Structure 1
Amino acid sequence: MKWIDAHCHVGQGIMNGLDADKLLADMDRLEIEQAVILPWDRAIAVDNEEGNMFTLELAAKYPDRLISFCTVNPWFGYRALEEIDRCVALGTKGLKLHPPYQGFQISDPFVLPIIEKALTYSLPIYIPTGTPVAAMPMQLAYVADLYPEGTFIQGHFGFPDFWIDSIPSVEHRPNIYVDIAYNAISTIEHAVKTLGAERVLFSSDAPYLSLDNEIDKLLSLSITEEERQLIGRDNMKAILEGGRR
């Protein structure tokens, strides 16, 4: 079975780093077909242009394997909007916002123009959740209700502090998917049972988590092979192709 990793990082961050050659070697070994790549921590927080260019160049070099999502800090205002335009022109396939790194709450009003800009290009929007007070599942639910036409990915499924809010925040919102990195097998199985496998995405958040361990966790789930295929590949493939399952 082939997989698509919905979220990992390349480059050297403060705590950890991963270069493209190592990522591609791990992908070959683990039969990961494609991976969505984001830059390292500093580039997410402040040096957006540098980080985005790095991932865009890698995606252009390995177009069948690596997929670039761009990132912008909403505090940069018009400059952030222009950066989305630039990245789309160069081939980005999605947007990541990171409230704890970038210093805002998901529901802050000045974030909405960034989301609206991304949605003019039909970009899926990835936002990690689980960190108070900046990034909580119900804040993402509020934004998803404002933009039902958008496709949102609830990163880390509320881990570690707000996992209990994750199911209620997405249960009746078909425009939110959940990314299961960091979560326990029992939590993931509960998400599949409650939300359906069509709403769940495999990701590794490498190098902060182990690709091997996250693949092992996906293989260990007590679900059908059809459900595993949806989580491991088909749901993210549909998102990248501009649709929903």
Structure 2
Amino acid sequence: MKRFSLLAVALAAALALPVFGETPGGSIVPLADHHEHLLSPASAKLANDPLLPAVALPDDLNRLFRAMEKGWNDKQALSPLFTEDSVVLDSRDPHWIQGRDEVAKFLSELFARPYRVTPVAYGTEGSAGHVAAYLTRGEGAAAKHFGQALFSVRKGGDGIWRIAAETPTFPGPRIREPRSADDLIAVLDEAGIRRAAVLSTAYWFGSPLMPKAAGDEYANVRAENDWTAQQAARYPGRLVVFCSFNPLKDYALQEIDRCAKIPQVKGIKLHFGNSGVDVRNPEHVERLRKVFAAANAHHLAIVAHLWTLDKRYGREDAQIFLDKLLPAAPDIPVQIAHFAGGGPGYTDEALAVYADAITAGDPRTKNLYFDVATVADEQSAETLRTFAKRIRQVGLPRVLFGTDLGPPMPRQSWLTFRTTVPLTDDEFKTIAGNVAPYFR
């Protein structure tokens, strides 16, 4: 069976790159990003929050919000649109602001440019009502909802509607734009990173946590994997692809066989959490063992996101993975994403199982690697110290730089890792120079 090993120095030389990820100017940059994603138009659509359709307001309510738009930055124009005891939520530093003049002053200074109120729901009962809306800029296909707001409205004795309470929140609904290979290469170049492993998001189409896409599920999975491979093919020598799918599905083994024939594909990506995997379920373990064995037979590396939504996730799950799944793929690199967590941060209880096994010389860990995608983001100093300790325990050559879909993008991800994790310059150089065997 084909053996794999880290050949960072040889690969760097072949690519005319500096050894150990150090630029001629002396700054340390990774040779490769081991955890990246592209998004086809279909997968971007799946990831986005579904937008509610705009609704038409009755004329008297509509006049209120058109006046608000017109006077967006004018305190004097806004003030008559609110009740005397009105309140508004400042969501930047959450607290309530009360009183017509104070509310008008706050709102007149909140926005940098004009905007529209796009109502999506409303209701009235007597002199009280509510309006839910997006805050929008742009027209037609270029329209973007940059915020959301809920308004409570009250009709005065003069028959005019005024705003009694407003809760604007930012940003607006989650909107993911398609991300092509060109887009990825641009951010890699910005960071000075030569290569990347592109992990397909095809598993989304078989995920119980995602909206159901139109059409046949397996056809959608194939299409996403194919699109990702076609994108990567535009940058040979820089991008490699990992097909993905829900490993519990009946088509999982068929997709491994199919992907193994695609030249750009070097491995498979498994997302346990998004796929509803429970390694404490023997039936799931049996299905996963077959997937691991098939990947091993095809010499396809595995990137596995092991963290799940189960609050019990930790030591027991890691031990099952080590005892029952890893032995089914003894000859290929197995990369545990996010340092055995879900990111940001990682799950130390789970990671400790692998670290202890490595320290004990457990032969099952001979091809085990860990990526650090988002692990250092938003973490306390204490957590980062423990993280550094675990990096040393598993061994620096097993630690791979990775970013994830972002934001943040690769440059910022490396900067965060480089400036917050308490490692030495020599240790950062080693990690930056690590290139996984599947890039060969």
Q: Aligned residue for 2:299?
A: 122
User: Shift of the alpha carbon at 1:83?
Assistant: 1.6
1:182 aligns with 2:363: no
Whole-Å separation in 1 of the counterparts to 2:247 and 2:350: 25
Q: Give 1:37's match in structure 2, choosing from 198, 207, 210.
A: 198
Q: Give 1:109's match in structure 2, choosing from 286, 290, 295.
A: 286
What's the secondary structure of 1:24's corresponding residue? Answer: helix
Q: Give 1:7's match in structure 2, choosing from 14, 25, 35.
A: 35
Checking the alignment, whether the CA contact within 8 Å between 2:188 and 2:194 is kept in structure 1 is: yes
- Write the deviation string for residues 37-86 of structure 1: whole angstroms up to 9, x where unpaired: 12336346353212110111012111122111111222332x32222122
What's the secondary structure of 1:178's corresponding residue? Answer: strand
Question: CA 1:171–1:208 in structure 2 vs 1: closer, same or farther (change >3 Å)?
Answer: farther
Whole-Å separation in 2 of the counterparts to 1:152 and 1:170: 15
Which structure 1 residue ranges, 5 or more long, are not aligned? Answer: none
In terms of fraction of residues, the more strand-rich structure is 2
1:197 aligns with 2:396: yes
- Write the deviation string for residues 136-158 of structure 1: whole angstroms up to 9, x where unpaired: 43332231144433421111113
Q: How does 1:104-183 map to 2 (within 5 A)?
A: 104-106=277-279, 108-133=285-310, 136-142=317-323, 143-160=325-342, 162-172=347-357, 173-183=365-375
Q: Could you tell me which amino acid in structure 2 is paired with residue 87 of structure 1?
A: C
In terms of fraction of residues, the more helix-rich structure is 1
Whole-Å separation in 2 of the counterparts to 1:162 and 1:28: 31
Checking the alignment, whether the CA contact within 8 Å between 2:273 and 2:307 is kept in structure 1 is: no
1:93 aligns with 2:274: no
Identity of aligned residues (%): 24
What's the secondary structure of 2:303's corresponding residue? Answer: strand
Q: CA RMSD in A?
A: 2.5
Q: Could you tell me which amino acid in structure 2 is paired with residue 53 of structure 1?
A: D
What's the secondary structure of 2:417's corresponding residue? Answer: helix
Whole-Å separation in 1 of the counterparts to 2:228 and 2:386: 31
Question: CA 1:139–1:217 in structure 2 vs 1: closer, same or farther (change >3 Å)?
Answer: farther
Q: Could you tell me which amino acid in structure 2 is paired with residue 86 of structure 1?
A: R
- Write the deviation string for residues 89-128 of structure 1: whole angstroms up to 9, x where unpaired: 1121011111122222346211211111110122111111
What's the secondary structure of 2:353's corresponding residue? Answer: helix
1:55 aligns with 2:216: no
Q: How many residues align?
A: 239
Checking the alignment, whether the CA contact within 8 Å between 1:39 and 1:52 is kept in structure 2 is: yes
Deviates more, 1:4-13 or 1:159-168: 159-168
TM-score normalized by the length of structure 1:
0.85
TM-score normalized by the length of structure 2:
0.50
